[in-house]
Amino acid sequence: MGNQALPEVYPFAVNFATGTYSNPNNGTYTYLNNVTTLGYALLDAPNPTITWEKSMQQNIGAEVTFKNNLSITFDYYDRQISDMLLVRPIPAYVGLNAPFVNAGTMQNQGWEFSLNYKKNFNKLKMDVTAMISDVKNKVKTLPGVPFLDGGSIRSAPGQALWSYFGYQSMGYFSDSNDIKASPVQFGIPWSANPTIGPKPGDVKYADISGVDGKPDGKVDAFDRTFVGNNFPRYEYSVNLNLSYGRFDLNIFGQGVGKRSNYYSGTGAVPFASADFAASLLAMHKDYWTPNNPDARFPRLLPSGLGGNNYVASSQWIRDASFFRIKNLNLAYRLPETFLKKAGIRSAKLYVSAQNVLTFTKAWDGFDPEINSQTAEFYPLMRTITAGVNLNF
């Protein structure tokens, strides 16, 4: 099978790149006679021996029906993926970007349970379908390297693919005594100088590395660890259809029982913005002060002066589980005797709503289904439509 996540269309081929006069700084230009001259250059190392990924899946399932109105389906599967298409680091002296290679194995193991129930209660007709599923993703092997590093994300055997990787947050420093008694943060000890070292209201990180499993009294890059991943667990949905007389009601809801999300950029950092005027979101007003020690955000600082408060850490990993009423439709079918006089075979009045309600612990206004969020996204729209369906 292929891999739709690959940025390269033909990673097996030799592709030469060229620049433009407006942006020649990609290694494809040179100076000839004191003139910038565009050219072509090989920037990415090709891999002519690359192959398709391979997948082997085993399933076992059962489908049971009771008295024609209750159906239950269960499926369990184990999917093994080998020859994964990954970028494995190469020495810098090669002078080219690392190629895609077939390396590593991964496992997706999960199950799915669904239920459908149909029943008529005199004038009330009910048809409900419910589903819940779960899947665990795990990298099994990465030949030649202990892990693949992506900064705030990392792939390593025993972990989900591209899991969040950073420091463990222990809340905020409460005062100078707390700072003195804590492990040295990033080589900067407590200082009475107001411009040096951590201050009350800054994020405090855990010291988890050392000799023989004992902390070494300092927080540095060796104290980073896996702090979550954005693979959804326990996805579920409910589709309810009710009919009573001439009224029809449909409600569809969906959700995720367990998921983590990483917030950064304008979503996490007050006054920070990459491509438009810096702004402060309403939620950023919940920042640390001595009278607000359990605030959502650390002490408020000007843009660019957040120090180590915004490094990748569990401080910015948030619960992204949710339940959303995705669709709601209510319709009324007009009496046929009334319609015949007007030459109409059937007519139905309806009102429909999408994205009706979302119940989540995600930050206000943020869509829990978007991965690794900043505040730079188009908000999820709630749409309400009313109309008439006529058949002549």
* Mean pLDDT by groups of 10 residues along the chain of 392 residues: 77 76 61 79 85 94 92 97 88 86 93 96 93 97 89 93 95 94 88 81 92 83 94 96 94 96 87 67 91 94 78 94 96 81 81 95 88 81 92 82
Residue 358 is predicted with a pLDDT of 94
Provide the CA 29 distance to its chain's centre, in angstroms. 38
Q: Bridge-partner residues for 381, per DSSP?
A: none
What distance in Å separates the CA atoms of residue 312 and residue 264, rounded to the nearest whole number?
8
Tell me which residue has tokens 């969906």: 254
Segment (H or E) for 53? none
Contact of 229 with 164, CB cutoff 8 Å: yes
What distance in Å separates the CA atoms of residue 222 and residue 42, rounded to the nearest whole number?
36
What distance in Å separates the CA atoms of residue 181 and residue 149, rounded to the nearest whole number?
32
Residue 23 is predicted with a pLDDT of 57
* Distant-in-sequence, close-in-space partners of 16: CB < 8 Å, separation ≥ 6: 40, 41, 42
Residue 8 is predicted with a pLDDT of 73
Contact of 106 with 81, CB cutoff 8 Å: yes
Contact of 358 with 324, CB cutoff 8 Å: yes
Q: Mind listing the pLDDT tens digit for each residue in 121-164?
A: 888 999 999 999 999 999 999 988 899 888 899 999 999 999 99
What distance in Å separates the CA atoms of residue 150 and residue 162, rounded to the nearest whole number?
8
Q: Which of 361, 269, 364, 270 is nearest to 320 (CA)?
A: 361
Residue 56 is predicted with a pLDDT of 96
**Per-residue tokens: 110:** 């999960």
Amino acid at 256: V
CA atoms within 13 A on the CB side of 364: 6
Q: DSSP assignment, residue 286? A: S
